[in-house]
Amino acid sequence: MSRTILFVGAGIEALHGLKRAREMGLHVVASDMNPEATGFAAADDRLIASTYDIEASVAAARDYHRTVRPIDGVIALGTDVPRTVAAIQDALGLPGIGGEAAALAMDKLAMKERFRARGVAVPWFSAVADAASLRHIVAVEGLPLVLKPVDSRGSRGVLRLGPEIDLDWAFETARGHSPTGRVMVERYLAGPQVSTETLVENGRGYTIGYSDRNYELLERFAPHFIENGGELPSRHDEPTRAAIADLVEAASAALGIRTGTVKGDIVVADGVPHVIELAARLSGGYFCSLEIPLNTGVDFVAQAIRLALGEPLEQPAIAPRYSRPVVQRYKFPAPGRIVSIDGVEAARALPGIAEIVVSKRPGDLIERPTDSNAAAAMAIALGDSREEAIARAAAAIETIRIETVPQ
């Protein structure tokens, strides 16, 4: 009987991973609260349970494991649910990062405290009890600072504080995005930011993906942090990339992650990398599933699946075979109700376009972007040079026309 892998989350971003698992000859199970989730089309079996409901997910997995067929590994792609994944792994006696590491990864304040205690470079930070405390911190530390919920996802409620920002509004906005009502602040370090994707095996990190995060729209959407895709390979030189890889490995060890996958958000300030956050999961945004394979030739998701199953990494397979320019860009329509979407097939037909994803439909309401999930469409482009890939991604985004009417 073939081995069985459970994907926690069956959204559209998990689809590539689910397909890849089936290509590897695995029996694929997916769980999601949405019976119509896109990823279910690529699964052999489905479990209906919210990815954020740990007890329900564990109960569904345990029942399937006992009555249908044994589950050999659990993984999540594009879904920030390490506690759910770890709980299922622990309940079934499967390999994984463990509950403590998962809990730390979901609590930005506890994570930063652990990093500071273990000597991992991070920006200065502090908990914020209320708006009055925030005003005191600003008076002492100065600006700019970054205010964020302690336990939210996808840059929701994350704000860059400048002299023009109402601090009472900022505190309430950040707290409103925290399930536990907790807020923290940290120093804003000016410098390029890099997304990383790392396989960790027996405490050793193999950082395969380095993407320069694109914040060209930062001022347009201020004070919110809205990323407009990224660019691979990174512009950073080899010594800087090596320092980033060492930092991610140290951060993983500080969280207690011995084997698994981690996604890093790194800022390089004055030539020194610092950890902004570390996620104990495979990344979303097609970074691990499309961009890294296109950039390096490494089948990152397949190797992550091997780790989830307790199998060793295939060393030759994790060595990059080339470094091809890959660029991702997003489409942010004008706020309003979508009345039409055109040009999608024309965009797909443009030279060098590797993927087009449209996440909105006519009738959907477009709000003013306040977090990284606000895009309505996405393009990934290849090129013989970085500049060519950037131009091709931009052309695809311009070709997609999304008309809205004000509401």
Task: Quickly name the fold that domain 190-318 has.
Answer: D-amino Acid Aminotransferase; Chain A, domain 1 (3.30.470)
Please say whether the structural domain 124-187 has been given the CATH code 3.30.1490.20: yes
Give me the pLDDT at residue 261, please: 97
Q: β-strands 45-48, 27-32: how paired?
A: parallel
State pLDDT tens for residues 264-320: 999 999 999 999 999 999 998 999 999 999 999 999 999 999 999 999 999 999 999
Q: Which ranges of 309-377 does DSSP label H, i.e. alpha helix?
A: 344-348
Which position has the token pair 């530390």? Answer: 141
Over the stretch 143-177, which tens digit does the pLDDT of each residue have? 999 999 999 987 899 999 999 999 999 999 999 99
Residues 47 and 57: their CA atoms lie apart, in Å, by 8
| CA 361 – CA 314 distance, rounded (Å) | 41
Mean pLDDT throughout 383-394?
98
Where do the domains of the chain lie? 4-94, 124-187, 190-318, 326-405
Strand order of the β-sheet with 125-128 is 125-128, 183-187, 145-149, 159-161
pLDDT tens-place string over residues 49-94: 999 999 999 999 999 999 999 999 999 998 999 999 999 999 999 9
pTM over 0.85: yes
Does 7 have pLDDT greater than 80? Answer: yes
- Residue 99 token pair: 């509950």
Q: What average pLDDT does the chain have?
A: 96
Q: Check whether 372 has a pLDDT greater than 80.
A: no
**CATH no. for 326-405:** 3.90.1170.50
| Contact in structure between 204 and 249 (CB atoms under 8 Å) | yes
- pLDDT recorded at residue 371: 83
Whether 190-318 and 124-187 are alike in CATH topology: the answer is no
Q: Say yes or no: domain 4-94 is CATH 3.40.50.20.
A: yes
Interatomic CA distance for residues 129 and 388, integer angstroms: 48
pLDDT digits (tens, 9 = 90+) for 173-219: 999 999 999 999 999 999 999 999 999 999 999 999 999 999 999 89
Burial class (CB in 10 A: 0-12, 13-18, 19+), 78: buried
Give the mean pLDDT of 213-237: 95
Q: Compute the average pLDDT of residues 113-139.
A: 98
Contact 215, 227 (CB under 8 A): yes
Residue 374: the pLDDT is 82
Question: Contact 139/150 with Cβ under 8 angstroms?
Answer: no
Task: Please say if the pLDDT value at position 373 is more than 80.
Answer: no
Q: Position 266: which residue type? A: I
Instruction: Determine the distance from the C-alpha atom of residue 164 to the mean position of all C-alpha atoms in its chain, rounded to a whole number.
Output: 30
**Mean pLDDT, residues 135-145 taken together:** 97
- Number of Cβ atoms within 10 Å of the Cβ of 351: 12
Compute CA distances 229 → 137, 349, 373, whole Å: 32, 20, 11
State how far the Cα of 300 lies from the Cα of 280, in Å rounded to an integer.
15
